[in-house]
Amino acid sequence: MSEDTAMPDFETALKTLETLVERMERGELTLEQSLECFEQGIRLTRECQKALAEAEQRVEILMGKDADAGPEPFGEADDAGTD
């Protein structure tokens, strides 16, 4: 399975997040539907954050901040961590 089929691209994930927020803001969903949208939104948010962090790392490498640096794996985001 390719990486493209496992996770939507950043723009698609962001658009889906916007749609979920709009649906939830209208207040027309049941509690269960709202929870499902919220769960999906959390997953998409994490995917977007990961994609942005990876892009930032690639830019730093390309800009030559550390010419010998290579991509490093990211751990799970710590909700209580610093930004």
Q: Among all chains, which residue has been given the structure tokens 């979920």?
A: 20
CB 76 within 8 A of CB 53: no
Nearest to 76 by CA among 58, 50, 54, 56: 50
Is 66's pLDDT higher than 90? no
Domain-located, residue 27: yes
pTM score of the predicted model: 0.63
Q: Which pLDDT score is estimated for 63?
A: 83
- Six-digit token pair at 78? 């710590």
Q: Which pLDDT score is estimated for 61?
A: 85
Task: Provide the CATH number for the domain around residue 15.
Answer: 1.10.287.1040
Rounded CA-CA distance 53/75 in Å is 11
Domain-located, residue 41: yes
**pLDDT 10s digits, 2-51:** 444 455 689 999 999 999 999 999 999 999 999 999 999 999 999 999 99
- Six-digit token pair at 53? 């962090």
Element (H, E) at 11: helix 10-26
Is 83's pLDDT higher than 70? no
Domain boundaries, position 15 = 7-62
Q: Which pLDDT score is estimated for 60?
A: 84
Number of structural domains in the chain: 1
Domain-located, residue 74: no
Domain-located, residue 35: yes
